[in-house]
Amino acid sequence: MAQKPSIPKGTRDFGQEEMAARNYIFDTIRSVYRTYGYVQIETPAMENLSTLLGKYGDEGDKLLFRILNSGDTFSGVDFESYRGGDGNVNSNKLSMKVCEKGLRYDLTVPFARYVVQHQNEIAFPFRRFQIQPVWRADRPQKGRYREFYQCDADVIGSKSQLNELELVQIVDRVFTKFGINVAIKINNRKVLTGLAEISGFPDKVTDITVAIDKLDKIGLDAVKEEMLGRGLSAQAIDVIEPVLNLQGTTAEKIETMRGLMQGNSASGIVSGTGLLGLDELTELFGYIDAAGISQKVEMDLSLARGLNYYTGAIFEVKALDYAIGSICGGGRYDNLTGIFGLPGMSGVGISFGADRIYDVLKGLDKFPGNIAGSATLLFANMDASVIGYLVPVVKRLREAGVSCELYPDQTKLKKQFDYADKKGIPFISINGGDEAASRSLNLKNLATGEQKSFSCDDIEGILAFLAI
C-alpha cells in the first residue's frame, strides 16, 4: 500500500547542491563570528509555551507551532468547559490545556531564557552565536517558509558602543567574504524616542516608528497620512518631517538633529533621550572611522525596524546589486532578560538572513565553484580481480584527504560515466589487470579530457593532478 510521499507545506528538503551552498553560507558566518570571540550555543527546538507566549505579540502567539502533550492527552478533558458564549470551543484555551510545549519562533527569546537560566555559569559580557532552525506557522509563500535557519550573534552585559562597532565589522567582513556589495544602515532608537518627545507625543514612539519604518515602501505622503491616522497632530508631523529628509555628511546630520533635540522644536521640549542617542551615534561612527569599513556604512534616521524591544542602535543591511529586502539586521535592547527575572542587562545583536543571502549569491552568481559537495574522484568498477588492488589504494587517497568513490557495482562503463556526470564528480580513474600488476593508476579529468598515469604510491603527483 504505497503512499505518495510529500512534506508539510512551507518546509523544504535540501539536496546535495543546496546543502553545499548553505554550508558555505553558514561556515562563512560562523568563521567570522569565531574570529570575534563569539562562542556557539544551541538550545532545544522545543521550549515551554510559557517561555514563548507573550513575547512576539498576539500575532506571534498565533504563529507558534504547539506540540501535543504525549500520552492519553484528551481522555480527562471536560470539553464543555471550553465552550464560549457562542457555543464554540475556544481553541486557544483548549490548546493551553493539551499543549505545554512549542517550537522555537526565533533564537532571541531562547537566548534570553538561556542567559537567565545559566547566569551563574556565564562570563559576562557574554558573546554568543547560534545557528539553528526556527518555526513559524505563517502562511507559506515565495521566500517565506515555516522552517528556516537563523544565524544570530549577540553580546549581553555591556553597554559599550565597541560592541556595536564589532557587529558592524562582522557584517562588513561576512559580506566582503561573500563578494556581495551592501549598504549597512545604522540608526538609534533613542533618537526616534527623542523625535516623539519633541513632536509633543512622547507616548507615540511606537506609532511614529512603525510609520517611519514604512517610508521605503509607501513613501513620505503615505507615512504622514499613517501618522495622522495614528493620532499625531499636523504640527507634530511638521516637526518630524524634516528629519526624514536630512542631507549632508553623517556628522552634519547629527549636528542638525542635535539642534532640533536641544529645543528648536514646535513643542519646545528638550529631548535628553534623543541627545543621548545622538551621542551614541557619534561614538559609534567615530569607531567606524577608526576601524575602516570596506562596505558602505550610512546613518539612516528613517530606519526603525519593526521590533519594539530595541532601545539603542539599530542596524539593517541591504544588497546594493540585487533587489531583495533586508538581508541582515539587529540592534541594542536593554530589557530582553527582564521578563525572565534578570533586569538591567543591556545587549546588542545581529541576525543574518540565510535564505535571502542564498538568493543574492545565486542571483549574482557569487557562489564559489568548488563547493559542489560531491566526491573529487570516481574509481570505476570493471573487473572483480582489480578490487583487491584498488581497495587499499582508495583508502590511502582518502586518508590523504581526497574524497573518493569506488563504484560499488560492476556495470557498463557508460553507466559509471553518467553517474560521475550527474553527481558532478570531476575526475575518473579506470584501471584493469595491467594497472594492478604495475601498481599504477589511470586518472582522467572529465572536463578537459586530460589523462595521465601515476604510480599508486605517488600521492603527491595524484593530488597535484586532482588540483588539491
Q: Which of 26, 43, 233, 356 lies at the binding interface for a copy of itself (CB under 8 A)?
A: 43
Q: Residue 323 burial by CB count (10 A; 0-12/13-18/19+): exposed, middle or buried?
A: exposed
Q: Which amino acid is at 222?
A: A
Q: Which stretch binds a copy of itself (CB under 8 A): 213-221, 358-366, 381-389, 437-445?
A: 381-389
135 lies in the binding site for a copy of itself (CB under 8 A): yes
Q: Residue 255 Cβ, how far from a copy of itself at the closest point, in Å?
A: 21
C-alpha cell at 17: 547542491
Neighbouring CB atoms inside 10 A of 69's CB total 13
Q: Which of 233, 267, 403, 442 lies at the binding interface for a copy of itself (CB under 8 A)?
A: 403
**What DSSP designation does 141 have?**
B
> Per-residue contact track with a copy of itself, 107 to 126, x per CB under 8 A?
------xx-xxx--x-xxx-
* Of residues 438-457, those binding a copy of itself (CB under 8 A): none
| Cβ contacts of 320 within 8 Å, gap of 6 or more | 181, 182, 183, 296
Q: Which of 71, 69, 128 is nearest to 95 (CA)?
A: 69
> Rounded to an integer, what distance in angstroms lies between the CA atom of residue 418 and that of residue 278?
63
Coil, strand, or helix at residue 460?
Answer: helix
89 or 266: whose CB is closer to a copy of itself? 89
Interhelix angle 250-261/189-199, nearest 10 degrees:
40
Total of residues contacting a copy of itself (CB under 8 A):
120
Q: Which of 238, 259, 368, 395 lies at the binding interface for a copy of itself (CB under 8 A)?
A: 395
Q: Which stretch binds a copy of itself (CB under 8 A): 65-73, 186-194, 433-441, 456-464?
A: 65-73
201 or 367: whose CB is closer to a copy of itself? 367
141 lies in the binding site for a copy of itself (CB under 8 A): no
Q: Which of 101, 224, 305, 318 lies at the binding interface for a copy of itself (CB under 8 A)?
A: 101
> Rounded to an integer, what distance in angstroms lies between the CA atom of residue 379 and that of residue 363?
35
63 lies in the binding site for a copy of itself (CB under 8 A): yes
262 or 282: whose CB is closer to a copy of itself? 282
Q: Which of 26, 60, 61, 100 lies at the binding interface for a copy of itself (CB under 8 A)?
A: 100
96 lies in the binding site for a copy of itself (CB under 8 A): no
Q: Which of 364, 387, 463, 466 lies at the binding interface for a copy of itself (CB under 8 A)?
A: 387
Q: Which of 221, 40, 45, 19 is nearest to 130 (CA)?
A: 40
58 lies in the binding site for a copy of itself (CB under 8 A): no
409 lies in the binding site for a copy of itself (CB under 8 A): yes
Q: Residue 264 Cβ, how far from a copy of itself at the closest point, in Å?
A: 31
* Of residues 266-325, those binding a copy of itself (CB under 8 A): 287, 290-292
Q: Which of 214, 244, 309, 340 lies at the binding interface for a copy of itself (CB under 8 A)?
A: 340
Q: Residue 167 burial by CB count (10 A; 0-12/13-18/19+): exposed, middle or buried?
A: buried
Q: Residue 36 Cβ, how far from a copy of itself at the closest point, in Å?
A: 7
Q: Which stretch binds a copy of itself (CB under 8 A): 235-243, 340-348, 437-445, 458-466?
A: 340-348
**Which residues is 39 bridged to in the sheet?**
128
**Grid cell 539536496 in the structure block, residue:** 15
> Rounded to an integer, what distance in angstroms lies between the CA atom of residue 237 and that of residue 242?
9
Q: Are 433 and 383 in contact (CB under 8 A)?
A: yes
| Cβ contacts of 26 within 8 Å, gap of 6 or more | 131, 149, 151, 354
Q: Which amino acid is at 75?
A: S
Q: Which stretch binds a copy of itself (CB under 8 A): 189-197, 220-228, 240-248, 384-392?
A: 384-392
> Rounded to an integer, what distance in angstroms lies between the CA atom of residue 142 and that of residue 10?
9
| Cβ contacts of 252 within 8 Å, gap of 6 or more | none
235 lies in the binding site for a copy of itself (CB under 8 A): no
* Of residues 11-40, those binding a copy of itself (CB under 8 A): 11-16, 19-20, 23, 34-37, 39-40
85 lies in the binding site for a copy of itself (CB under 8 A): no
266 or 407: whose CB is closer to a copy of itself? 407
459 lies in the binding site for a copy of itself (CB under 8 A): no
Q: Residue 176 Cβ, how far from a copy of itself at the closest point, in Å?
A: 10
Angle at 25 between CA 21 and CA 31, to 5 degrees: 135
